[in-house]
Structures are given as C-alpha cells and as structure tokens.
Structure 1
Amino acid sequence: MDGRLARGSQTRRAILRRAADIASVEGLEGLTIGRLAGELSLSKSSVFAHFGSKEDLQLAAIGFAEEVFRELIIQPTLELPPGMPRILALAEHWLAYSRKRVFPGGCFFAGVIAEFDAREGRVHDAVRHGRKHWLALLARIVREAVDLGHLPPGTDPEQIAFEVDALARAANDEAVLTGTEVAYERAITGIRVRLGVDQGVRVAAQSPPTNEE
C-alpha cells in the first residue's frame, strides 16, 4: 500500500508539473484532463482520480506553483539576515526565477493574474489570496529594514513593496515578450536606486536553487 501511495504521489506531482508548465504559457484555461492524460501517457481515469474537475486541476496547479515559488524565492531569502539583504535577495531571486524560465512562460503568476483578475470564483479567489500574501511578505521585509535603520524613518513599506513587485513583473513581461534579458538588469537597477543601494553591492545569486520537480 505504501508503494502504491508513493507512486500515486509521484504521478500527481508529474501531472501538476506539466499542468503548471502549460498554464504558464497558455493560461489555466488551457488545462484539460484529456490533454494531460495524452501528454503524460496516462489514462483519463487516472488523471480524473487526482482531480475531479477542471477547476480542481486549476487550483492544484496554483498550489504547485506556489510551492515552487516558496522553495526557490522565499525560503532562500528568509535564511539571510533581516533588513536590506532580504529585500535585495527577494528581488534578485524573483528575477532569476523568471530569467531561468523555471516555468516556460516566465513567472507563472504574472500570466494567471492577467487571466483571472476580472473574473469571479474559486480560482480568482486563490490567485487574489496568494497575491495578497506575497505583497504582505514584501512589506514585512521592508518594515524590518526600516526598523533596523537600513531605510529612512517614515518609509512606507507597502509603497516600496508595490514598486519592487511592479518592477519585477514588468521585467518578466518584457523579457518573455521580446526574448531579451536587458529588462532584468533595468529592473534590479531600478530597485536598487529606489532603495538607495550602491550598484556594486551583491546580495543574492543570479540563479535560484535548481528546482528538481
């Protein structure tokens, strides 16, 4: 029974990996149980056993992408000292995640937000929930930097979080559209200028840890 459970878990993750890859390029509406079954050489009943509906599949793909995001961007950042090092690391890991094409369409959430921002329903709510928590994390890290004296008193953490996120998302969109990487350099330059950080200071690596999924 343990072996069957392990194989079932592996199959589920393989389905979610492929689903997230597809969604990053074509959107969550591009996901169907039949398509995933065909591409992964599985029966439709096997895929259906893991995800009873298209919406369940979409929600699970979002959850998988969030897990990857935490593993490659958030966790390495939180291992660094609080304050400015974490702000810069979070931005650099985010840009590296997009640059490396962890998902073939760039940042998974950039496309999904555009796809579901004006809709209603469980998928929209899940995307909004994740977005809310991401910006809250950014603001919290900025607030730590203010408390430590790394940023001036009176700095608005929510404003800085909004601007850092906006520059990173703009870089992702431009790079995916044009196939060039100059946008990433412009984004990190803009973030450093906004934070008042010397351009020569390095905090995070250019590439996030390898995701083995």
Structure 2
Amino acid sequence: MSPRKSAAEARRTRERIVEHGVAIASVEGLEGLTIGRLATGLGMSKAGVLGHFGTKQALQLATLETGAAAFRRLVWEPARDAEPGLPRLRAICEAWITYMESARDTFPGGCLFTTASVEFDARDGAVREAVARLFGLWRRRLALEARAAVAAGDLPDDTDPEQIAYELVGLYMALNQEIQLFGAPDAGDRTRRALDRLLGPCPSD
C-alpha cells in the first residue's frame, strides 16, 4: 500500500469515527463517547479507535469541531451572501430554525452544542473551554450582524448588539427544548414570532 493511500484511508477512518461520535454525543452527551462504544458500533478494535485519537478527551474535542463545521455549513453558509445587517441576521435566524427543525438528519438527538453546553457548563477542563469558545464565537457573529443593522438604520440607535445576541441564543436554546423534549410542531413558528418582537419584521415583509 502506498503511503498516500494509507494516509487517505486513515483520514477516512478517522472521519467515520468522528461522524459516529457526533451521532452518539447528540443523544447521550460527549461523556457517552467511549472507545469501546465506538469500536463496537464501527466494527473496529479498541486499539484501532484509540490509535486515531489517543484519549477520550481528544475524541470529544474532535467531535465538537466536526459538529461546529456542520453548524457553519447549515446555518452560516446559507445566510453568508445576504446583505450585512438585519437582512443577514434574519437570514441566519431562519437558517437556524431550519437547522433545529431538521437537526436529526445530522444530530439524531438534536443540536449537539445545546446538549454539550448543559452537560459541561458546571465542569472544568478543555472540553468545557471548547464549548464556551464555540458559543462565544457564534455570539460575537450575532452581535456583529446586530451592530451592522444598527449602523444601517434597521434597528434603533440605542439597540445593544450584545443583548440581541444574548436573547437570540436564549430563543434557540428554547427552540431546541421545544422540539426535542416536547415535540412541539409549532416551535418554529413561535420562534419566528419571538424574532419579530425582538428584531422587527423581516426586511422583505
């Protein structure tokens, strides 16, 4: 086997492990990721799984990064080309609702980050720091778009962009709970009504 082919196969195996890890973690949390569980689910040896990550923590961190990439693809990418400010912020919010409503396609147990934030908010360590960093990056993106909306005159001059970001995260934490815990079919529409109160009607309305 050529070194190039060997490296490509190792990369594909690592991706399979992490994808399976994302599916497990969204349902059972990142602590539900064990080398033995993954090895059994993938038909691999424990040594084979361990060889790609070394530690459970490394596996958890890789799972978070893969989940973050999926979130960016499904929430940020569809909105990226919208006009900066309120149009893009509302486009982000709509893509976010779609992501939450169809999250089971990527995360069988719902939003991985909502699960991880509850699981690790009272713990110390690298995984908690990674969760906080990813949430922090997203909140800064939301605040940036809110700030652009103020500059464009789409939101009142006295709007606090950080408060907008804070409330948006709270809305979507609630949306995830409504979908996952209560199975509420109207959760997306309730979130849209809450967005109208927070941000005003969509620019196209």
Q: Shared fold (TM-score greater than 0.5)? A: yes
Measured in 2, the distance between the counterparts of 1:148 and 1:63 equals 34
**Aligned equivalents of 2:108 and 2:177: distance in 1?**
13
What is the alpha-carbon distance in structure 2 between the residues aligned to residue 8 and residue 189 of structure 1? 47
In the alignment, is the contact (CA less than 8 A) between 1:91 and 1:168 conserved in 2? no
Matched, 1:192 2:196: yes
Counterpart amino acid of 1:90?
I
Query: How do residues 196-211 of structure 1 correspond to structure 2 at under 5 angstroms?
Result: 196-197=200-201, 201=205
The one-letter code sitting in structure 1 at the alignment partner of 2:35 is I
Residue 41 in structure 1 maps to residue 43 in structure 2: yes
In structure 1, C-alpha distance between the alignment counterparts of 2:95 and 2:118, rounded to whole Å:
22
Rounded Cα–Cα distance in structure 1 between residues aligned with 2:30 and 2:22: 8
Identity %: 43
Say whether residues 1:5 and 2:10 are aligned partners: no
Contact 1:145 1:151 survives alignment (8 Å): yes
**Contact 2:87–2:203 (CA under 8 A) maintained in structure 1:** no
What is the aligned partner in structure 1 of residue 138 from structure 2?
A: 134
Residues 65-115 of structure 1, C-alpha deviations (whole Å, 9 max, x = no match): 111111111122222111111111111111111111220111110010000
Which blocks of at least 5 consecutive residues in structure 1 are unaligned?
A: 202-213
Supply the distance in 2 between the matched residues of 1:174 and 1:121 (Cα, whole angstroms): 30
Q: Which residue of the other structure, out of 65, 70, 88, is the alignment partner of 1:63?
A: 65
1:153-180 deviation line (CA, Å, top 9, x unaligned):
1110011111111111101111101123
From 115, 124, 148, give the equivalent of 1:144: 148
1:164 aligns with 2:189: no
Structure 1's consecutive aligned runs of 4 or more residues displaced over 4 angstroms after TM superposition are none
- Contact 1:105 1:176 survives alignment (8 Å): yes
Q: Which amino acid aligns with 1:70?
A: R
User: For 2:181, what is the secondary structure of its paired residue?
Assistant: helix
Matched positions, count: 201
Paired letter, 1:89: A
Is there any run of 5+ residues in structure 2 with no aligned partner, and where? none
Q: Find the aligned partners of 1:58 and 1:9 in 2 and give their Cα distance.
A: 17
Asked if structure 1 preserves the Cα contact closer than 8 Å seen for 2:86 and 2:203, the reply is no
Structure 1 length-normalised TM: 0.90
**Match of residue 127 from structure 2:** 123
Which among 100, 109, 122 is matched to residue 113 of structure 2?
109
Structure 1 match to 2:77: 75
Tell me, in whole angstroms, the C-alpha distance in 2 between the residues paired with 1:68 and 1:97.
Answer: 10
Over the aligned positions, Cα root-mean-square deviation in angstroms equals 1.4
Greater relative contact order, per chain length (Cα 8 Å cut-off, separation 6+) = 1
Contact 2:87–2:202 at 8 Å: present in 1 too?
no
After TM superposition, the score normalised by the length of structure 2 is 0.94
**CA distance in structure 1 between the partners assigned to 2:41 and 2:152 by the alignment:** 51
CA distance in 2 between partners of 1:8 and 1:184 (Å): 40
Letter in structure 1 aligned against 2:51: A
Query: Once the 2 structures are TM-superposed, how far is the Cα of residue 122 of structure 1 from its aligned partner?
Result: 0.6
Residue 97 (structure 2) aligned to one of 88, 95, 98 = 95
Using the TM superposition, give the Cα deviation of residue 148 of structure 1 relative to its aligned residue in structure 2, in angstroms: 1.1
1: CA distance, partners of 2:202 / 2:86: 12
Q: Name the CA distance, whole Å, in 1 between partners of 2:187 and 2:35.
A: 36
